[in-house]
Structures are given as structure tokens and as C-alpha cells.
């Protein structure tokens, strides 16, 4: 397996004359590189003689400086690069043009204003810093996922997966996007901060689309705290309140009958209903789906870098569409992102989702029916002390499942 190598930090001005493309001994010069045959894939053998393929556009990890094969190396310590071009002098003398992914510490050497302390252990910054390294430096593939903090459909990022949310440009030393805080505390999001109060809750309202630290907004007092059902009555993409077709007849007739009627409705009634009007409709939907949709969207610490946002958004979209169109959300699982259950907080599928009909969500001042309470998805067996313990724990301040209030729009987060 590969030997370690020196790594360039920030590229200095080139000296005139024959300059090697990389810092390693024998690295080809630009002139030589131009005449070398080009390949798409190269192979590196490990200690057991197993071949591993590396191809153009793959993201790969490289042994850190002064580390040898056989050393104990934590995954997050590896260097990460993107393979751009592969050329060879011979079968055993293969050279690879790469672009480095900077560690947060590398980034501060480029741009002194960058604060690496808010970056996670597996975080890197994509850069346009090129280098030329021998194929012997390669240790394995290292898919680094792009993390777009504003994307509601962001794919999940595992606890030991590399990711990047910033791009470093070595020409003008800029870092894009500029790190910016979303919470009232003006602190940047640190995905590796495992403190329970550092978990961040998302307000999906288009006018907000911000994450807030649980600890920063948990104590903000409110007269009418939002409830779980309020998560379900707002379109997560548009922020609009859900409207029901044929709402007048909905509360009086069994769900099945109403749904048949509504499917033939040509002119939907656009009255904004009270939360209680949704009771028979929600009760007819798959309890697991309703539970997933009724979760707060949270990220950070044990909840993962990107948290459960994509899963909950997908569930809310499906619930909203089912309520709007009068369907039973058939085939809802297919509309959930792959592996979504792994992104949900521990115990989410064992809790009783109590949907209390309190205040109507949204505008228009619709008066709800007072004191309407109903439970959904109480199908999970009581499970004795374990479940009770979990429920008791939920009441603590650090409960990531508790519903909080957005400090800007007042909506549920
Ligand atoms: Zn905060
Ligand atoms: Zn908000």
C-alpha cells in the first residue's frame, strides 16, 4: 500500500524553468506531463494483493504526511482529493493530477478570516488547489458529500462520512459561501457539537428557512405554544395552510365515503379548516407516515450533520398532498428518501403522537373547535418501563422532539 508523501500547503509562486507538477521526487514536469499517455482508471494493490480501482472524478483518500501503512489512522485524519487526470510513464509509474479538499485548518492558512472551530471532524472544503501525486499515495475511495444547508432535500450524511459545505478558491483566497449564522445567537453551526442544547430546529417557512439552536429558543416564552398538528397543516415548501376540498361534508361523513366524493369534486372548497377537521383524514393515513411528518426537523450531534430534515419534509409533503387531494397516501414509502429511518431521532417510532386541536395554523383567524384531543398511531405496544422511560426523558429541556416556536414567524419548529 501507499507510502506517505509531503503535501503542498498553499502553492507558492512558481520558479522559472523546469518545475515539477507535484512536490514528490520524480513528479513529472508540465512538459513531460503533456506527452504522457492518459488513462481513466488506475489500480493500487493493498497488502493482501487485492487491487483497488481509482477513476477520474472519484474522490479518494490519501495517507496523511508522515503516516505509514499499518499505523492506526482514524478515518477523519486522511487527506481527501478529487482525481482529475491520470497519466503514466509505465505500468508501475503512474501519476495522478488531483484537486485537494482542504481540512478546516488548511483553510485558515488560505483565508485568515475563516473560523475552523465550527467545522466538524469529517468536514473538508472543496478547493481548486491542484497537485500531482504518485498512485502509491492512494489509500481508498472517500466519497465526500456536498452539504447545502438551505436544501430541504439534502441527502443524509453518515457519522463517518466526509462532507463539504464550503469551496475554497486559491486564486482570490475566497471561501464560498461565506459562513453565516442562522440562529439568534449568531453562532455558526458546528455539526460535531454533541451538546443536547446545540441541536438545531428548522423553521421551513420560506420567509425564515433558518435553523435555531434548541438551547437558544427553548426558553422563549409564548402564550400559545405550537403543537404537533401544526406541523401537518402547512405546506413545507410554500408555507401555505392546507386547504381541504369539500370541507363541510368532511367532518360529518366517514373518511372513505368523503374521499370518494372528493375525488369527483371539480371545484374544491378553499375554506381554511380548523385542526379538528383534519381528525378523520389524518386517522385514515398510515400512522408511521403521520408520526414522521409530525417530527420537528432537527440536525446536529447525534442526529447527524444534515439531520432528519429531508425525511420529515418528504413525509409532510405526502401528508399535505393526501389531505389536499383526499387520498390515503398510497405508496408513500416510495416518496421517502433512501435510508430515511436512520436519520430520525432515537425513539421517534415508539412515541404516542398526540395531536391536540388548539389554534388554527395560518391566517384568516379561523376558530377551532375547543378542547379537541385525539391520538394517532398509538399502535406501538406499551413496552413497559423502557417506553415510559423514553417518554419521561422527552420532557427534559434537551428533548429534540419537543415542539418549539420560531422566534421570527412564531411557527412550530
Ligand atoms: Zn443559537
Ligand atoms: Zn419561522
Could you tell me the distance, in angstroms and rounded to a whole number, from the CA of residue 361 to the centre of ligand 1? 25
| Residue 366 Cα to ligand 1 middle (Å) | 33
What is the tens place of the pLDDT at every residue in 37-76?
999 999 998 888 899 999 999 999 998 888 877 788 999 9
Phi and psi at 401, nearest 5°, equal -90, -10
Question: What are the structural domains, with CATH classification, of the chain?
Answer: 30-176 (2.30.30.490), 226-394 (no CATH)
| 32's grid cell | 513531460
113 CA from centroid of ligand 2 (Å): 30
Q: pLDDT class for 176, splitting at 50, 70, 90?
A: very high
Name the closest ligand to CA 203.
2
**CA 186 to ligand 1 center in whole angstroms:** 6
pLDDT at 270 over 70: no
Mean pLDDT rounded to a whole number for the chain: 80
* pLDDT above 80 for 287: yes
Q: What percent of the chain has pLDDT over 70?
A: 76
Q: Which ligand is nearest to the CA of 212?
A: 1
pLDDT-based confidence at residue 5 (cuts at 50, 70, 90):
very low
Neighbours of ion ligand 2 (CB under 5 A): 203, 205, 208, 406, 408-409, 411
CA-based nearest residue to 18, from 4, 3, 30:
30
Query: Cα(211) to centroid of ligand 2, in Å?
Result: 9
Contact between residue 148 and residue 167 where contact means Cβ atoms under 8 Å apart: no
Cβ pair 42, 96 in contact under 8 A: yes
pLDDT tier for residue 400 given thresholds of 50, 70 and 90: low
Distance between CA atoms of 23 and 180, rounded to whole angstroms? 35
291-332 per-position pLDDT tens digit: 999 999 999 988 899 999 999 999 999 999 999 888 999 999
What is the band of 256 on the pLDDT scale with cuts at 50, 70, 90? very low
C-alpha 258, offset from chain centre = 38
Is 187 a residue whose pLDDT tops 80?
A: yes
- Give distance in angstroms: CA of 226 to centre of ligand 2: 12
Q: ∠ CA(279), CA(280), CA(286), 5° rounding?
A: 95
User: If you measure from the C-alpha of residue 203 to the centroid of ligand 1, how many angstroms do you get, rounded to a whole number?
Assistant: 13
pLDDT cut 90: percent of the chain above it: 56
Handedness of CA 312, 314, 319, 320 (dihedral sign): positive
State residue 248's pLDDT score.
45
Q: Which residues of 142-158 are buried (b: 16+ CB within 10 A; e: fewer)?
A: bebbebebeebebbbbe
pLDDT value at position 69? 73
* C-alpha 216 – ligand 1 centre gap (Å): 5
Q: How close is the Cα of 205 to the center of ligand 2, in Å?
A: 5
What is the distance between the alpha carbons of residues 46 and 50, in angstroms, rounded to a whole number? 5
127-141, 243-257, 278-292: which has the minimum mean pLDDT? Answer: 243-257
pLDDT tens, 337-353? Answer: 999 999 998 888 876 66
- 212 CA to centre of ligand 2 in angstroms: 10
Q: What pLDDT, on the 0 to 100 scale, is given for residue 272? A: 57
Burial 316-343, CB ≥16 within 10 A → b, else e: bbbbbebbeebbebeebeeebbeebeeb
- 386 pLDDT higher than 80: no
What one-character DSSP code corresponds to residue 131? Answer: E
Separation of CA 215 and ligand 2 centre (Å): 16
Å from CA of 159 to ligand 2 middle: 28
In this predicted model, which residue has the larger pLDDT, 144 or 364? 144
pLDDT band at 259 (very low <50, low <70, confident <90, very high): very low
The pLDDT of residue 364 is above 60: no
Pairwise CA distance, residues 321 & 413, whole Å? 21
State the average pLDDT over residues 229-250.
78
Q: Which three cell numbers stand for residue 53?
A: 480501482
Ligand nearest to the CA of 182: 1
Amino acid at each position: 500500500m501507499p507510502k506517505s508523501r509531503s503535501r503542498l500547503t498553499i502553492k507558492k509562486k512558481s520558479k522559472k524553468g523546469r518545475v515539477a507538477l507535484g512536490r514528490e521526487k520524480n513528479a513529472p514536469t508540465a512538459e513531460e506531463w503533456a506527452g504522457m499517455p492518459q488513462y481513466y482508471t488506475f489500480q493500487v494493490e493493498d497488502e493482501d494483493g487485492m487491487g483497488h480501482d481509482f477513476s477520474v472524478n472519484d474522490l479518494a483518500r490519501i495517507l496523511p504526511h508522515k503516516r505509514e501503512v499499518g499505523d492506526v489512522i482514524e478515518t477523519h485524519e486522511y487527506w481527501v482529493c478529487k482525481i482529475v487526470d491520470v497519466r503514466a510513464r509505465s505500468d508501475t509509474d503512474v501519476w495522478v493530477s488531483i484537486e485537494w479538499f482542504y481540512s478546516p485548518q488548511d483553510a485558515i492558512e488560505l483565508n485568515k478570516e475563516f473560523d475552523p472551530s465550527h467545522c466538524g471532524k469529517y468536514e473538508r472544503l472543496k478547493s481548486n488547489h491542484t497537485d500531482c501525486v504518485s498512485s502509491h499515495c492512494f489509500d481508498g475511495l472517500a466519497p465526500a458529500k456536498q452539504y447545502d444547508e438551505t436544501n430541504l432535500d439534502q441527502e443524509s450524511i453518515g457519522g463517518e462520512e466526509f462532507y463539504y459545505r464550503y469551496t475554497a478558491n486559491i486564486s482570490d483566497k475566497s471561501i464560498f459561501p461565506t459562513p453565516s449564522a442562522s440562529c439568534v445567537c449568531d453562532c455558526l453551526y458546528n455539526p460535531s457539537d454533541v451538546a443536547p442544547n446545540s441541536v438545531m430546529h428548522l423553521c421551513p417557512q420560506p420567509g425564515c428557512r433558518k435553523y435555531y439552536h434548541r438551547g437558544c429558543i427553548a426558553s422563549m416564552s409564548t402564550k400559545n405554544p405550537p403543537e404537533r398538528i401544526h406541523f401537518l397543516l402547512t405546506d413545507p415548501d410554500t408555507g401555505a395552510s392546507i386547504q381541504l376540498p369539500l370541507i363541510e361534508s368532511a367532518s360529518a361523513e366517514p373518511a372513505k365515503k368523503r374521499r370518494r366524493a372528493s375525488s369527483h369534486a371539480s371545484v374544491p372548497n378553499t375554506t381554511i379548516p380548523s385542526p379538528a377537521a383534519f381528525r378523520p383524514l389524518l386517522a385514515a393515513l398510515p400512522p408511521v407516515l403521520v408520526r414522521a411528518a409530525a417530527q420537528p426537523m432537527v440536525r446536529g450531534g447525534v442526529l447527524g450533520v444534515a439531520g432528519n430534515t429531508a425525511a420529515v419534509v418528504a413525509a409532510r409533503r405526502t401528508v399535505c398532498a393526501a389531505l389536499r387531494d383526499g387520498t390515503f397516501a398510497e405508496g408513500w414509502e416510495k416518496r421517502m428518501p433512501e435510508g430515511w429511518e436512520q436519520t430520525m431521532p432515537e425513539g421517534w417510532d415508539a412515541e404516542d403522537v398526540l395531536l391536540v386541536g388548539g389554534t388554527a395554523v395560518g391566517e384568516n383567524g379561523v376558530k377551532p373547535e375547543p378542547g379537541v384531543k385525539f391520538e394517532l398511531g398509538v399502535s406501538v405496544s406499551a413496552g413497559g418501563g423502557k417506553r415510559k422511560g423514553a417518554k419521561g426523558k422527552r420532557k427534559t429541556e434537551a428533548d429534540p422532539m419537543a415542539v418549539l416556536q420560531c422566534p421570527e414567524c412564531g411557527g412550530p419548529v
